[in-house]
Amino acid sequence: MAERPDDNGEDTLLKRAAQYTKAPKVSHKVLTKQEREEILKEHRLKQAQAERLESTSTSGPIGRAWRKLQSSPDKVSLAMALVALGVVYGDIGTSPLYTMQTFLYGRGGMANTTDGSVIGMLSLVFWSMTLVTTVEYVLICMRADNHGEGGILALYSRLRRYGKWLAVPAMIGGAAFLADSVLTPAMSISSAVEGLTTLPGLERLFEENTGLTEMIALVILVCVFAVQSRGTESIGRVFGSIVLVWFLFIGVVGLVNMSNDWSVLRALNPVHGVAFLFSGQNVAGIALMGTVFLSITGAEALYSDMGHVGRGNIYLTWPFVNLSLVLCYFGQGAWIMDHAGDAAYMKSVPNPFFAMMTPGVRGVAVVLSVVAGIIASQALISGAFTIVSEATGLNWMPHMQVRYPSRTRGQLYIPMINAVLCVSTVSVLLIFHDSEHIAAAYGLALTVTMIMTSVLVTVYLWHLRSRFAAVLFAIVFPSIMVMFFVASMAKFLHGGWFTMMLMLAILGVMYTWDQGTMLERAQRRHMSPKECLPVLQRLHEDATVPYYSDNIVYLTSDQEMCRFDTDIFFSIFANHPKRARAWWAVSVETADEPFTREYSVETFGTDYVFRVRMRLGFKVSQSIPAYLHQIMHDLLRSGELPKQTTHYPKVDADPEIGPIRYVLIHKELMPESKVSSGGAMALRVKYAIRHVAGSPIKWFGLAPYDPVTEVQPLFLSTVRPPRLKRIM
């Protein structure tokens, strides 16, 4: 005889099911122990800062000015200034490794280099850094922020209400920045590793193994991408002190070499730069500006990473960084002028950065340059994460899993993008092999980004600042950037084609995703409660239709709470009706705070239709099944959800809640849809990208619960085909 249930009507195994499944449950606590400790630590830090500010309030004008600064968006701290050194300046900080060497390659070596050409080159570098990096980006662009976030897409988010056409420069600039993010790690690390070949004890080893530097660079690149999941804050703290040493080192070395020939200070006069650019000594012509551009390639990364470290900390650190770079460039120029006639440098092109040092100091320089190259890679990688996150928010890219390793919203990690960047960067190194050939492709796409940023900043100044300032800015800075672009186009056939193809591919993803999203939104419809509730009630009470599940949960991106999405309505009734004790439409919103856990519910006056919107902090795990169980229990206790029981064990081991079935709806284009060939292609590409990028099933932790993915036609206008003719 079968075992009878106990007096309570519950099977013994059912009551003990939880110890077998160990399914996740929501705690009664609103914060974990680690979250409480983190919040307490931050509270104590803010309290200490407030006490320090209070103590300076009576210290005269300086104290009052400091208090005002620390209460503004430009507040500074030594800790975050150190992080800024490690996160922001890596790219521009490694430019001295290859800029002057590229100049010598363009001149055909030391034999063809004159004092006038060196002074002219240094003058162009100095004034490009001053005008573009300091004036345009640090003093102007960084004031054009979006709630503290920088970068071209953050700026577009603030300006898009002023015209739909602004999406064009924003999309082009974002795609170009991502394309350049692929080349920067390969360029920075390979140029640093090649410094090993200048060490006396290792020269023969690298001569016998010509591919050794490439292999070392590949290993370092893979390691750089492997540590990205730790977050830019923890990485920045480690790198910050090293970068501080790096800039001190290159500044001192440059100053020592400058002391041998103070005539390089003539380069501070811009006349020398302009005269050399248009003189007969400049054999490269306007293409020389493509080499000069290498000295400012980190400016856009500086702007994009502003949200990671704060604008004030960049203001605090940039003067020191700028001085160190100028001293290093001028030191290299002094060395070139002093050794232009040396027979030892007639057959090969030296790297002035390493050559200007004694062998003993050169070993330290190689080690520091490799680390600096790693940091340069970090600056562009973190900037790429930011750009992709912003593009996702604009619906220009698929929603991918985002992790926030630190408490700061801007410091993020996207596993999919990290993997794509890693594969692409390694491919660049395998295709071009060394920094000399990578330099041919490097910087071209970034000039496009800078032009588009200049366009958006002009619009920002016109609408939000001064129209006179906007006109003046538009005359000066876009003109400079167009000149850099024309000069960089000389690299097109020598490697620039690769960067442009990469940029066009990324731009294609953005454009097709945007167009596909617009078509999908055009077909989205909502039903009022009075339109859909009567038929839902009829199905709910129709005992002739078996239950599909006690609870059917639809995951939706629709944030509408007061109406019903027709996609969900037709899913319930399409083919065989999906009868349930309760239907749930659940959406998830990511909050700007790290540990927010909130939800709201709309019942439409029923006890069988529930519209749920969860609001989760950006550091909170999106454990939708566990949170949904909590919401169901809350509604059971409030009486809004009728009592549910189950008589058989189930995976979630919760006998008070009936079985749950999760449903996700994907759309497909019908052959008869009235849509242009471009629109149809955009939708097909979007769905293909979504398939590769990953499913929301993984984002929301639904994979273990056997969710259902349904395909519905995209409800666009359709063409009515002619009637068939009956012949028998």
Count of C-beta atoms within a 10 Å radius of residue 10: 14
Separation between Cα atoms, residue 66 and residue 437, nearest integer Å:
49
pLDDT in tens, 276-304: 888 878 877 787 888 888 888 878 777 87
Compute the mean pLDDT over every residue in the chain, rounded to the nearest whole number.
78
* Side-by-side strand order, sheet with 582-591: 597-602, 609-617, 582-591, 551-555, 660-668, 708-713
* Average pLDDT value for residue range 362-368: 83
- According to CATH, what is the number of the domain 77-515? 1.20.1740.10
Cα 343 to Cα 111, 333, 340, 357, 530: the distances in Å are: 9, 18, 9, 18, 91
Q: Which helix (H) or strand (E) holds 540?
A: helix 529-541
Residue 391 has pLDDT above 50, yes or no: yes
Under the banding of pLDDT at 50, 70 and 90, the label for residue 44 is: low
* Average pLDDT value for residue range 574-589: 86
Under the banding of pLDDT at 50, 70 and 90, the label for residue 18 is: low
pLDDT in tens, 605-646: 888 889 999 887 766 667 788 888 888 888 988 888 888 877
Residue 329 has pLDDT above 90, yes or no: yes
DSSP bridge pairs for 615: 589, 598
pLDDT at position 324 is 93
The answer to whether 575 touches 605, Cβ cutoff 8 Å, is: no
pTM score, whole prediction: 0.76
pLDDT in tens, 171-222: 898 888 888 888 878 877 887 787 777 777 666 776 666 778 878 888 888 8
Cα 584 to Cα 36, 556, 557, 638: the distances in Å are: 32, 10, 13, 17
* Average pLDDT value for residue range 689-709: 72
Q: Round the CA-based radius of gyration of the chain to a whole number and report it.
A: 31
Tokens of 115: 């004092």
What is the residue type of 239? F
Separation between Cα atoms, residue 168 and residue 388, nearest integer Å:
16
CB neighbours of 8 closer than 8 A, spacing ≥ 6?
none
pLDDT at position 72 is 55
Residue 717 has pLDDT above 80, yes or no: no
Domain with CATH 1.20.1740.10 in the chain: 77-515
Residues of the chain with pLDDT > 70, as a percent, come to: 79
Question: What is residue 723's DSSP assignment?
Answer: P
- Look at the block and give the residue holding tokens 């800024």: 84
The answer to whether 219 touches 399, Cβ cutoff 8 Å, is: no
Separation between Cα atoms, residue 351 and residue 139, nearest integer Å:
33
DSSP string, 648-704: S--TT--TTS--EEEEEEEEE--TTB---HHHHHHHHHHHHHHHHH--HHHHTT-GG
pLDDT at position 1 is 40
Check the CA dihedral 693-696-701-703 and report its sign. Answer: negative
pLDDT at position 323 is 93
